Amino acid sequence: MKNSKIISLAAVGMLLLAFGFQSHSTQIQAQQSQAAPVASGHQKPAMRYFLLSSRPNHKAWQVMKKNPGDRQAATAGAMKKIGCEMLGYYWGLGNGRNYIIVAVPDNNTIQAMLVQRLSSGLLHEYEAIELVRSSDMVAMFERLKELDAADDSLPK
């Protein structure tokens, strides 16, 4: 099960690259680096990117069967209202899951999104995986050196 999940997420990652997520996120990153100060004089917070994956239950499938429509179009407006940007919405037809890529402004928003969806009664499971650019991982690894040096509970 775990290996199939890893393979499934890897396949989704390949699809995202194939469908242009990387170029779209680069475009957004360039826009963010030139973010205009808001009225208070502060910069807008940098968006964080998440791959949301859920497995709808039979009730959700029945709703979609009765009311067919583009789920991305149906939810993108709601995302925008709460300060998020939907970057893509895909279905994994072989596994019955959906995969949504969103840009989110803060922890509270992503946590509220998770609880809202989990409490809907329409999903078996829901998962949020933060997507971090490889170039952004450099700062984390630098910070990791400091943490390792300060943590005397680890074997040296």
Domains of the chain (ranges, CATH numbers): 2-13+44-150 (3.30.70.920)
Cβ atoms within 10 A of the Cβ of 140, count?
10
Q: What is the mean pLDDT of residues 138-147?
A: 90
Mean pLDDT on 111-128 = 91
With 0.85 as the threshold, say if the pTM is over it: no
pLDDT band at 2 (very low <50, low <70, confident <90, very high): low
Q: Give the Cβ contact number of residue 64 at 10 Å.
A: 13
First to last CA, the chain: 35
pLDDT digits (tens, 9 = 90+) for 59-70: 999 999 999 988
Q: Yes or no: say if 10 and 53 are a contact pair by the CB < 8 Å rule.
A: no
Q: What is the mean pLDDT of the chain?
A: 79
- In terms of DSSP bridges, do strands 85-92 and 48-56 run parallel, antiparallel, or are they unpaired? unpaired
101 contacts 88 by C-beta, under 8 angstroms = yes
With a CB cutoff of 8 Å and minimum separation 6, the contacts of 83 are: 104, 105, 109
Q: Which of 74 and 18 is assigned the larger pLDDT? A: 74
Rounded CA-CA distance 135/125 in Å is 31
- Inform me whether the pLDDT recorded for 120 exceeds 70: yes
Handedness of CA 59, 62, 67, 71 (dihedral sign): positive
Per-residue exposure over 45-56, b if at least 16 CB sit within 10 Å of its own CB, e if not: eebbbbbbbbeb
Whether the pLDDT of residue 128 is over 60: the answer is yes
Instruction: Convert the pLDDT of each residue in 6-61 to its tens digit.
Output: 445 545 554 454 445 544 444 444 444 444 444 555 666 689 999 999 999 999 99
